[in-house]
């Protein structure tokens, strides 16, 4: 199921997956009620009204290595990414039962 995490130009569609014991599977039709709207402005991720629970943010490079990780506590409205990161990354926001993922260019 596609979920509309929105980044500034260009727009990316993000996919939501359910985390289950023993592996990851596509989320069933009872997905989170609303997609997130996330903007990327000058290396800062903006979460609008804030996150509703704790997440772990991960940036993963083309070799499938986690290049950057940080905890995003509930209520966070923005995260500033390190200015040393440039290029294309997979962005993951990992929660307790599911995670959002998509691709960004820094």
Q: DSSP letter string over 68-101?
A: EEEEE-TT--EEEPPTT--SEEEEEEE-SSEEEE
H/E segment holding residue 63: none
Whole-prediction pTM = 0.71
Does domain 2-105 fall into CATH 2.60.40? yes
Domain boundaries, the chain: 2-105
Q: From first to last of the 106 residues of the chain, give the pLDDT tens digit.
A: 334 444 434 444 455 555 554 455 554 545 454 556 677 888 888 887 788 889 999 999 999 999 999 999 999 999 999 999 999 998 888 887 777 777 888 8
């Amino acid at each position: 199921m596609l979920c509309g995490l929105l980044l500034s130009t260009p727009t990316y569609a993000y996919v939501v997956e359910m985390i289950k014991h023993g592996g990851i599977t596509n989320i069933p039709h009872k997905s989170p009620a609303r997609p997130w709207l996330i903007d990327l402005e000058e290396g800062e991720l903006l979460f609008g009204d804030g996150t509703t629970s704790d997440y772990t943010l991960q940036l993963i490079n083309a070799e499938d290595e986690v290049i950057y990780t940080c905890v995003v506590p509930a209520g966070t409205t923005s995260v500033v990414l390190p200015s040393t990161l440039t290029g294309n990354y997979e962005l993951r926001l990992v929660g307790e039962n599911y995670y959002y993922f998509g691709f960004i260019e820094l």
